[in-house]
Amino acid sequence: MKDWNYKRLLLTGAIACLAPMPVLADNIKGEEVAVLTDAPEVPPPITRKHATKVIVNLETKEVKLRLADGVDYTFWTFGGKVPGKFIRIREGDQVEFHLHNHPSSKLPHNIDLHAVTGQGGGAEGSFTAPGHSSTFSFKALNPGLYVYHCATAPVGMHIANGMYGLILVEPKEGLPKVDREFYVLQSEFYTKGKYGAPGLQPFSMTKAVEEKADYVVFNGSVGSLVGDNAMKAKTGEKVRLFVGNGGPNLVSSFHVIGEIFDKVYVEGGKLVNENVQTTLIPAGGSAIVEFKLDTTGTFILVDHSIFRAFNKGAIGMLKVEGKEDHEVYSGKTKDGIYLPEGGVIQEIGAEAPKQIPAKTLEERLSGGKRIYESSCFACHQSNGQGLPGAFPPLAKSDFLKNKDKAISAVIHGLEGPIKVNGKEYNSVMPAQILSDEDAANVLTYIYSMWGNSKKVVTPADVKAVRAAGKK
């Protein structure tokens, strides 16, 4: 019976392909092939003043890609990456949609576009077996920013494995002109191993059903929008972010640290709110946010359900260069000492999760990088330069010459004045609740970076300093 149902679906699809395409309305002029882009890039604005026939070609493919450093995952994709391609059309366009399922796929896929008025949003007409193609058409009736996703059973599993993207239906009059546009899509992943567990991680249906996400990320992986991958702009420019939430479960509290959204197109529709700090984006929903860049800096994109940002990966960067405006933001103008009563050493975290000991230097560095990016970079910065007058640099740091002293600072904390590279600092280094393995990994990573000595710290080194106690 199962084989007959499958053959019947294939036969139905074959008959549909032979059926004549709908006759185009009289107001449709010409024909074009849609430009599709990978995140964070966006196709150029539509300048034509008329509706046209738009041909969209999109391929589903199952591929193994990076989820985090040292962590791989078999993603199910639209276009070979997560999120899927950004599609840009115009209100009134007649869209001829071709969905191709790569022969290497193990499963059938389809597509439900929230921009489509019709059964299944296109899913009913696009069920496609591996090595086959399906074609359907729709008219873009409603302007807005819409999510699309796979809707093949089990629907949640197809979405959880990466099958989602955004389609923009520009209004007939177009969107207001801005200087830069970017594509950002949040989603979560559920893996058999915990966050950061190395190797090829399989999908966990149990965690997905219980909505216990191991990863919450922008654009498909941890670090996809940080460092060299950060979005870039200049002061004085207006930026528009097309932001989606593929889910499959969690609502996003989207926020850009250090910026205020001048305009938010609420839930990707026509309603505009102004001067917004954080906007909610439901699973399967979107928002368009716009803001002018008034001064320089690195502006951090987060899900303000904040542990998702700093502990599960929902973090990105917009690096803004140009002329600083000290009236808009001065930076620190004075640094004093504040010593209230009571102890100042704090403990961060709880009992560290069990971890497989690193067997090679590469594994130790990989583990250390993950810890640094989740716990250390906010103070010491991604380039190890620290913050002048507040947090000392780790780059070419003379404080690191004494390995036991460096280990003690991590596991016991540090307070009081110190001198690093000839400059005085008097901030607090909270004690990090890390296992001997984790402490060794993060210190080895720090020693390996930014012109430092390449020393290797072992769990035995950490254990010895821990046993000796704070000095």
Which single residue is written with the structure tokens 């996400």? 213
Q: Is 102 annotated as a binding residue?
A: no
Q: Is 100 annotated as a binding residue?
A: no
Q: Taking the mean position of all CA atoms in its chain, how far away is CA 107?
A: 26
Q: Is 317 annotated as a binding residue?
A: no
Q: Is 150 annotated as a binding residue?
A: yes
Give me the amino acid identity at 57.
Answer: N
Q: Is 412 annotated as a binding residue?
A: no
Using alpha carbons only, what angle is made at residue 311 by residues 310 and 317, rounded to the nearest 5 degrees?
A: 35
b or e along 299-333 (b: 16 or more beta carbons within 10 Å of the residue's beta carbon)? bbbbbbeeebbeebbbbbbbebeeeeeeeeeeeee
Q: Is the dihedral of CA 297, 298, 299, 305 positive or negative?
A: negative
The SS3 assignment for 364 reads helix
End-to-end CA distance of the chain: 74
Cβ distance 420 to 397 under 8 Å?
Answer: yes
Beta carbons within 8 Å of 325's beta carbon, 6+ residues apart = 235, 294, 295
Q: How would you classify the pairing of strands 231-234 and 252-257?
A: unpaired
d(CA 469, CA 471): 6
Q: Is 380 annotated as a binding residue?
A: no
Share in percent of the chain as helix, strand, coil (round to 5): 20, 35, 45
Q: Is 149 annotated as a binding residue?
A: yes
Cα 52 to Cα 27, 112, 168, distances in angstroms: 8, 22, 15
At 369, give phi and psi (nearest 5°). Answer: -65, -40
Residue ranges of the annotated binding site are 109, 114, 149-150, 158, 163, 304
Residue ranges of the annotated binding site for Cu cation are 109, 114, 149-150, 158, 163, 304
